[in-house]
Chains A and B, each alone.
Chain A
Amino acid sequence: AQSVTQLDSQVPVFEEAPVELRCNYSSSVSVYLFWYVQYPNQGLQLLLKYLSGSTLVKGINGFEAEFNKSQTSFHLRKPSVHISDTAEYFCAVSAPWFGNEKLTFGTGTRLTIIP
Protein backbone atom coordinates (compact mmCIF):
# COMPACT_ATOMS: atom_id res chain seq x y z
CA ALA A 1 0.00 0.00 0.00
CA GLN A 2 1.06 3.57 -0.61
CA SER A 3 0.90 6.55 1.72
CA VAL A 4 1.52 10.27 1.42
CA THR A 5 2.72 12.74 4.01
CA GLN A 6 2.33 16.47 3.60
CA LEU A 7 4.36 17.90 6.41
CA ASP A 8 2.87 21.39 6.43
CA SER A 9 -0.83 21.86 7.02
CA GLN A 10 -0.62 25.61 6.44
CA VAL A 11 1.92 27.74 4.58
CA PRO A 12 1.66 31.55 4.59
CA VAL A 13 3.74 33.29 1.93
CA PHE A 14 4.07 36.91 0.88
CA GLU A 15 2.96 37.76 -2.61
CA GLU A 16 5.71 37.41 -5.22
CA ALA A 17 7.83 35.30 -2.86
CA PRO A 18 8.82 31.73 -3.74
CA VAL A 19 7.09 28.77 -2.16
CA GLU A 20 7.75 25.08 -1.66
CA LEU A 21 5.07 22.66 -0.51
CA ARG A 22 6.50 19.42 0.74
CA CYS A 23 5.30 15.92 -0.06
CA ASN A 24 6.83 12.61 0.89
CA TYR A 25 5.48 9.23 -0.08
CA SER A 26 5.93 5.65 1.00
CA SER A 27 5.72 2.72 -1.38
CA SER A 28 7.41 -0.61 -2.04
CA VAL A 29 6.78 -0.30 -5.79
CA SER A 30 7.16 2.35 -8.45
CA VAL A 31 4.50 5.00 -8.25
CA TYR A 32 2.83 7.77 -10.12
CA LEU A 33 2.71 11.11 -8.27
CA PHE A 34 0.31 13.99 -8.57
CA TRP A 35 -0.41 17.43 -7.22
CA TYR A 36 -3.99 18.67 -7.19
CA VAL A 37 -5.23 22.13 -6.29
CA GLN A 38 -8.59 22.91 -4.74
CA TYR A 39 -9.76 26.50 -4.75
CA PRO A 40 -12.35 27.47 -2.14
CA ASN A 41 -15.65 25.69 -2.68
CA GLN A 42 -14.44 24.08 -5.88
CA GLY A 43 -13.36 20.67 -7.13
CA LEU A 44 -9.96 19.11 -7.66
CA GLN A 45 -7.84 20.38 -10.50
CA LEU A 46 -4.70 18.59 -11.64
CA LEU A 47 -1.63 20.81 -11.34
CA LEU A 48 0.95 18.34 -12.57
CA LYS A 49 1.89 14.69 -12.58
CA TYR A 50 4.95 12.48 -12.66
CA LEU A 51 4.52 9.23 -14.57
CA SER A 52 8.05 8.55 -15.81
CA GLY A 53 11.01 10.23 -17.52
CA SER A 54 12.36 13.60 -16.46
CA THR A 55 12.22 14.07 -12.73
CA LEU A 56 11.40 17.77 -13.08
CA VAL A 57 7.79 18.17 -14.00
CA LYS A 58 6.18 21.42 -15.04
CA GLY A 59 2.51 22.06 -14.54
CA ILE A 60 -0.08 24.75 -14.90
CA ASN A 61 0.01 28.21 -13.34
CA GLY A 62 3.82 28.26 -13.15
CA PHE A 63 4.14 25.37 -10.71
CA GLU A 64 6.74 22.65 -10.97
CA ALA A 65 7.70 19.62 -8.91
CA GLU A 66 10.73 17.40 -8.69
CA PHE A 67 10.56 13.68 -8.17
CA ASN A 68 13.34 12.44 -5.90
CA LYS A 69 13.30 8.68 -5.65
CA SER A 70 16.08 8.39 -3.09
CA GLN A 71 14.31 10.78 -0.75
CA THR A 72 10.83 9.58 -1.74
CA SER A 73 9.76 13.15 -2.20
CA PHE A 74 7.75 15.14 -4.71
CA HIS A 75 7.90 18.74 -3.53
CA LEU A 76 5.91 21.43 -5.31
CA ARG A 77 7.49 24.79 -6.07
CA LYS A 78 6.66 28.13 -7.55
CA PRO A 79 9.22 30.93 -7.90
CA SER A 80 6.78 33.79 -7.39
CA VAL A 81 3.28 33.37 -5.98
CA HIS A 82 0.20 35.42 -6.67
CA ILE A 83 -2.88 36.13 -4.62
CA SER A 84 -4.81 33.79 -6.91
CA ASP A 85 -2.66 30.86 -5.75
CA THR A 86 -4.46 30.86 -2.40
CA ALA A 87 -5.92 27.34 -2.23
CA GLU A 88 -5.56 23.88 -0.75
CA TYR A 89 -2.93 21.71 -2.38
CA PHE A 90 -3.05 17.92 -2.27
CA CYS A 91 -0.26 15.51 -3.10
CA ALA A 92 -1.40 12.06 -4.23
CA VAL A 93 0.12 8.72 -5.26
CA SER A 94 -0.99 5.64 -7.13
CA ALA A 95 0.58 2.47 -8.52
CA PRO A 96 -1.68 1.21 -11.34
CA TRP A 97 1.03 -0.99 -12.82
CA PHE A 98 0.96 -3.02 -9.63
CA GLY A 99 -2.76 -3.31 -9.25
CA ASN A 100 -3.04 -0.51 -6.74
CA GLU A 101 -4.86 1.89 -8.92
CA LYS A 102 -6.59 4.12 -6.47
CA LEU A 103 -5.24 7.54 -5.65
CA THR A 104 -4.11 8.00 -2.09
CA PHE A 105 -4.12 11.62 -0.99
CA GLY A 106 -2.14 13.50 1.59
CA THR A 107 -3.87 15.63 4.17
CA GLY A 108 -3.36 18.78 2.17
CA THR A 109 -1.49 22.06 2.57
CA ARG A 110 -3.38 25.31 2.77
CA LEU A 111 -1.41 27.98 0.94
CA THR A 112 -2.25 31.50 1.99
CA ILE A 113 -0.78 34.41 0.07
CA ILE A 114 -0.22 37.56 2.07
CA PRO A 115 -0.51 40.81 0.09
Chain B
Amino acid sequence: EPEVTQTPSHQVTQMGQEVILRCVPISNHLYFYWYRQILGQKVEFLVSFYNNEISEKSEIFDDQFSVERPDGSNFTLKIRSTKLEDSAMYFCASRAKQPGQFRGYTFGSGTRLTVV
Protein backbone atom coordinates (compact mmCIF):
# COMPACT_ATOMS: atom_id res chain seq x y z
CA GLU B 1 0.00 0.00 0.00
CA PRO B 2 1.36 3.47 -0.87
CA GLU B 3 2.83 5.41 2.04
CA VAL B 4 3.65 8.96 2.98
CA THR B 5 7.28 9.12 4.07
CA GLN B 6 8.62 11.67 6.52
CA THR B 7 12.21 12.41 7.41
CA PRO B 8 13.80 12.69 9.86
CA SER B 9 11.82 10.76 12.43
CA HIS B 10 13.31 12.85 15.23
CA GLN B 11 15.10 16.17 15.11
CA VAL B 12 16.63 18.14 17.94
CA THR B 13 17.45 21.78 17.29
CA GLN B 14 18.52 24.81 19.25
CA MET B 15 16.11 27.65 19.76
CA GLY B 16 16.45 30.21 16.99
CA GLN B 17 17.71 27.73 14.41
CA GLU B 18 15.97 26.95 11.15
CA VAL B 19 14.60 23.48 10.54
CA ILE B 20 13.22 21.81 7.46
CA LEU B 21 10.92 18.84 7.80
CA ARG B 22 10.59 16.68 4.74
CA CYS B 23 7.76 14.62 3.35
CA VAL B 24 7.29 12.48 0.29
CA PRO B 25 3.54 12.24 -0.39
CA ILE B 26 1.87 9.46 -2.33
CA SER B 27 2.81 9.91 -5.96
CA ASN B 28 -0.63 10.49 -7.52
CA HIS B 29 -1.90 12.70 -4.72
CA LEU B 30 -2.17 16.41 -5.32
CA TYR B 31 -3.37 17.83 -2.00
CA PHE B 32 -0.82 18.06 0.78
CA TYR B 33 -1.07 18.98 4.42
CA TRP B 34 0.94 19.60 7.53
CA TYR B 35 -0.44 19.01 11.02
CA ARG B 36 1.19 19.18 14.39
CA GLN B 37 0.55 17.56 17.74
CA ILE B 38 2.02 19.02 20.87
CA LEU B 39 2.72 16.26 23.37
CA GLY B 40 -0.52 15.04 24.95
CA GLN B 41 -2.72 17.34 22.91
CA LYS B 42 -4.94 17.14 19.86
CA VAL B 43 -3.79 17.08 16.27
CA GLU B 44 -3.93 20.60 14.84
CA PHE B 45 -4.11 21.68 11.21
CA LEU B 46 -1.29 23.92 10.02
CA VAL B 47 -1.55 24.29 6.26
CA SER B 48 -2.91 22.77 3.07
CA PHE B 49 -1.20 23.01 -0.31
CA TYR B 50 -2.53 22.45 -3.80
CA ASN B 51 -1.33 23.41 -7.26
CA ASN B 52 1.89 24.87 -5.87
CA GLU B 53 0.24 27.27 -3.52
CA ILE B 54 -1.20 27.40 -0.05
CA SER B 55 -4.95 26.81 -0.14
CA GLU B 56 -5.58 27.28 3.56
CA LYS B 57 -3.58 27.95 6.69
CA SER B 58 -4.35 28.13 10.37
CA GLU B 59 -3.52 30.85 12.88
CA ILE B 60 -0.57 28.75 14.00
CA PHE B 61 1.01 29.03 10.56
CA ASP B 62 2.55 32.47 10.96
CA ASP B 63 5.43 34.13 9.14
CA GLN B 64 7.93 31.77 10.77
CA PHE B 65 6.48 28.88 8.80
CA SER B 66 6.67 28.18 5.09
CA VAL B 67 5.97 25.25 2.82
CA GLU B 68 7.42 24.30 -0.50
CA ARG B 69 7.24 21.62 -3.11
CA PRO B 70 10.73 21.99 -4.55
CA ASP B 71 10.42 19.11 -7.00
CA GLY B 72 7.87 16.56 -8.12
CA SER B 73 8.12 14.43 -5.05
CA ASN B 74 9.09 16.34 -1.90
CA PHE B 75 6.90 18.57 0.26
CA THR B 76 8.71 20.51 2.97
CA LEU B 77 7.82 22.50 6.05
CA LYS B 78 10.33 25.14 7.13
CA ILE B 79 10.41 26.84 10.48
CA ARG B 80 12.72 29.85 10.20
CA SER B 81 13.55 30.56 13.82
CA THR B 82 12.41 27.82 16.12
CA LYS B 83 10.91 28.51 19.53
CA LEU B 84 10.55 26.19 22.48
CA GLU B 85 6.81 26.01 21.83
CA ASP B 86 7.43 24.60 18.35
CA SER B 87 8.38 21.32 20.00
CA ALA B 88 5.80 18.86 18.73
CA MET B 89 5.16 15.93 16.43
CA TYR B 90 4.66 17.15 12.87
CA PHE B 91 2.60 15.04 10.51
CA CYS B 92 2.46 15.28 6.76
CA ALA B 93 -0.61 14.00 4.91
CA SER B 94 -1.83 13.78 1.33
CA ARG B 95 -4.98 12.92 -0.55
CA ALA B 96 -6.19 12.34 -4.11
CA LYS B 97 -7.28 15.36 -6.13
CA GLN B 98 -10.96 15.04 -6.79
CA PRO B 99 -13.65 14.27 -4.23
CA GLY B 100 -14.80 11.52 -6.56
CA GLN B 101 -11.41 9.88 -6.22
CA PHE B 102 -11.32 10.48 -2.53
CA ARG B 103 -10.28 7.54 -0.42
CA GLY B 104 -9.12 9.38 2.63
CA TYR B 105 -6.09 11.14 3.91
CA THR B 106 -2.87 9.23 4.29
CA PHE B 107 -0.58 10.35 7.08
CA GLY B 108 3.12 9.89 7.46
CA SER B 109 4.60 8.52 10.66
CA GLY B 110 5.63 11.98 11.80
CA THR B 111 8.73 13.95 12.74
CA ARG B 112 9.25 14.63 16.40
CA LEU B 113 10.81 18.08 16.69
CA THR B 114 12.46 18.98 19.97
CA VAL B 115 13.61 22.56 20.43
CA VAL B 116 16.13 23.06 23.23
Pair from one complex: yes
A-side residues, CB < 8 A to B, are: 32, 34, 36, 42-46, 49, 51, 90, 92, 94, 96-97, 101-108
Give 1 or 0 for each of B11-54: 1 = CB within 8 Å of chain A CB: 00000000000000000000101010000011111001000000
A51 contact set on B, CB distance < 8 A: 102, 104
SS of B interface (majority): strand
Q: Nearest A residue to B4 by beta-carbon distance?
A: A43
B-side residues, CB < 8 A to A, are: 31, 33, 35, 41-45, 48, 55-56, 89, 91, 93, 95, 99, 102, 104-110
Q: Nearest B residue to A95 by beta-carbon distance?
A: B99
Given A43-B110, A46-B104, A51-B102, A101-B42 contact (CB < 8 Å) = no
Q: List 20 A-B contacts (CB under 8 A).
A: A32-B104, A36-B107, A42-B109, A43-B109, A44-B43, A44-B110, A45-B107, A46-B105, A46-B107, A49-B104, A51-B102, A92-B43, A96-B102, A97-B99, A101-B55, A102-B56, A103-B45, A105-B42, A106-B42, A107-B41
